[in-house]
Structure 1
Amino acid sequence: MEKIVKVSHLQKKFGKFEALRDVTFSVNYGEVVGFIGPNGAGKSTTLRTLLGVIKRDRGDVEIFGKDVWKESTEIHKRISYVPGDVVLWGNLSGGEIIDLFMKLHGCGDKQKRDALIQRFELDPKKKAKGYSKGNRQKVGLIAALAVESDLYIFDEPTSGLDPLMEKVFQEEVEQLKKSGKTILLSSHILSEVERLADRVVIIRQGEIVESGTLHELRHLTRSTITIETERDVAKVATFNGVFDFIQVHNQATFSVDNQYLNDILIQLTQLNVKKIESIPPTLEDLFIRHYEN
């Protein structure tokens, strides 16, 4: 597949602090990649390096086959970017700022802009200095989504938005995804990444520690099983691969390492199972377990 973004052995220091130790990942054409990690892991530093705002110390970083530092002007013509804290000109209205961003980009759609203003419930006539953080984010999102780009980079884009507006953003990203656009999404809302992303890249202390589709990564964590049996369910706690066992009469809930799941299901048939429910691991389970380890 054609790679839109290529990051290879990226390193960056701020004084003695090593923000990025060895970051390597890629984003393919038409793909949505979720870029996740805790605060201070290096997400924003990586994205700002991609934008050519920060100069790397070592490594290769390319977008559209161009060097992000040397050819940033050409790259920016084809991308949309929304940071986690949008800073605006206080004396301009939200509508004026959106129009300015669209004019600078050069590929704006006024009908799309108007539809987005309605969807995000933004008052475009209000001065930016009177906007809340959530409304500042809306201005950035509308400006980014109203232009035609080949790559969309979102760094905590829904920060400050209420759940309804988060849903609007997710629906807009799904539309971009259907139209074949390429998206790099950094978000603290793991359910958002799980819903939208084709692949996930996890960064920890300046290094990529996991990368792959959710299906590929689910082996790293556990499914949750809830059962009700006719016979005493207590013996399930002794099965290999069972963790966090909780029993109430002949009902039990426990976690299972997926490699043991088939063997455990065979053993459960001996207990005359009346009811069973299996919930696959979520991205949040994967994330928390990985960081606890």
Structure 2
Amino acid sequence: MTTTHDETLTKDTEAQDDTPVVELKTAGKSYGNIRALHGVSLAVRPGKVTCVLGDNGAGKSTLIKIVSGLHQHTEGEFLVDNTPVRFSTPRDALDKGIATVYQDLATVPLMPVWRNFFLGSEMTKGPWPVRRLDIEKMKKTADEELRNMGIVLDDLEQPIGTLSGGQRQCVAIARAVYFGARVLILDEPTAALGVKQSGVVLKYIAAARDRGLGVIFITHNPHHAYMVGDHFSVLRLGTVELSASRSEVSLEELTNHMAGGTELAALKHELAQVRGVDVEELPEAEDITAPVTASSEVSPS
């Protein structure tokens, strides 16, 4: 059967679209004798949400710092567009289109929304040395970009500190998209939010994915991750315990790995000896699904 030019072009485009923008291959980080991360493989593709889950101390923060340019990996490979990189500063990561939205958002609460949108990258007009802020253009651009993400604010002059936590997260996401992010790292964006505000943030994570961004969603909440995630990596003590696509893992299995199901199963017989503790619903050791290895995350060479 003869393959037409259009079919060949479509296949090439699909293959190109599936190429990871950011990829870690058995990467790790050591601080002296302390190994914070070891053998972690992760691929972030355009238009996909990669969820990284783990309890406190699992290695999530170290992973963020490597990808965002704060720290350098000490083992393995870190690739951007299939090219090995070693960032010296977060500016290097930004230049490659990798933007990070941290939990504290790095906003100035008393400044207007539009001013926070352009904080550090203000638009100016007029000849040097009497250039001044182009306030009207910044307001118009901020309003347009927020609306493109589905965020409608009645007053961009209001201090950003008056917005809800979910709204501030969404402004930060829209800002990163506007300034050319190709990969968006979200550090626990729903950790301090209620159910409704968490839903707002998850909606805009999906919106960022639909605009073609690769998203790294760092969270300790498997329910939030499963709502928007395409691929899931669970970290435990600096290594990948589970790496699976959405079709390969159920919410129950993801929650079980996140909650340390193996440890709970091992402790079941001890808990049974404590009066008033119902252990009937706890899993047996043989019921725990074997973790998918990180090898499924690495693209074939």
- Counterpart CA distance in 2 for 1:155 and 1:214 is 21
Q: What does the per-residue CA deviation read over 1:163-190, in whole Å, with 9 as the maximum and x for residues that have no partner?
A: 2222122222222323332111112221
> Number of residues paired by the alignment?
230
Corresponding position: 1:292 with 2:292: no
Q: Distance in 2 between matches of 1:183 and 1:25?
A: 12
Partner of 2:94: 76
Change (3 A) 1:69 1:121: same
The AA in structure 2 aligned to 1:200 is F
Is the contact made by 2:93 and 2:99 (CA closer than 8 Å) also made in structure 1?
A: no
SS in structure 2 of the partner of residue 34 of structure 1: strand
Cα offset for 1:43?
0.7
Shift of 1:156: 0.7
**AA matched with 1:85:** D
Deviation at 1:29, TM superposition (A): 3.2
Q: Structure 1 158/103 Cα, relative in aligned 2: closer, same or farther at 3 Å? A: farther
2:28 maps to 11
Deviation of the 1:153 alpha carbon: 1.3
Residue of structure 2 aligned with 1:192, choices 203, 207, 224:
224
TM-score by length of 1: 0.65
1:100 and 2:119 aligned: yes
Unaligned 5+ segments in structure 2 are 1-17, 124-139, 266-301
Q: Distance in 2 between matches of 1:165 and 1:113?
A: 20
**Aligned equivalents of 1:192 and 1:205: distance in 2?**
22
Structure of higher CA gyration radius: 1
1:176 aligns with 2:208: yes
Look up the match of 2:82.
65
Q: What per-residue deviation string (whole Å, max 9, x for no partner) do you get for residues 101-151 of structure 1?
A: 6659xxx95344443898486975455678886675455334234444321
Mean Cα deviation higher: 201-210 or 111-120: 111-120
Higher normalized strand content (fraction of residues)? 1
Quote the Cα distance in structure 1 between the aligned partners of 2:149 and 2:50. 26
Structure 1 runs not aligned, ≥5 long: 219-279
Quickly say closer, same or farther: Cα 1:68–1:126, change in 2 above 3 A: farther
Which residue, out of 51, 54, 73, partners 2:68?
A: 51
Q: Is the 8 Å Cα contact of residues 119 and 168 (structure 1) preserved in structure 2? A: no
Query: Equivalents in 2 of 1:47, 1:192: separation in Å?
Result: 19
Could you tell me the TM-score, scaled by structure 2's length?
A: 0.63
Q: Is the 8 A contact 2:94 2:181 kept in 1?
A: no
Q: CA deviation at 1:33?
A: 0.9
Percent of pairs with identical residues: 20
1:206 and 2:238 aligned: yes
Moved more, 3-12 or 172-181: 172-181
Question: Residue type of the partner of 2:254?
Answer: L
Report the AA paired with residue 69 of structure 1.
Answer: F
Q: Find the aligned partners of 1:118 and 1:284 in 2 and give their Cα distance.
A: 31
Q: 1:2 deviation in Å?
A: 0.7
Cα deviation, residue 211, structure 1: 0.5
- Whether contact under 8 Å (2:112, 2:158) holds in the other structure is yes
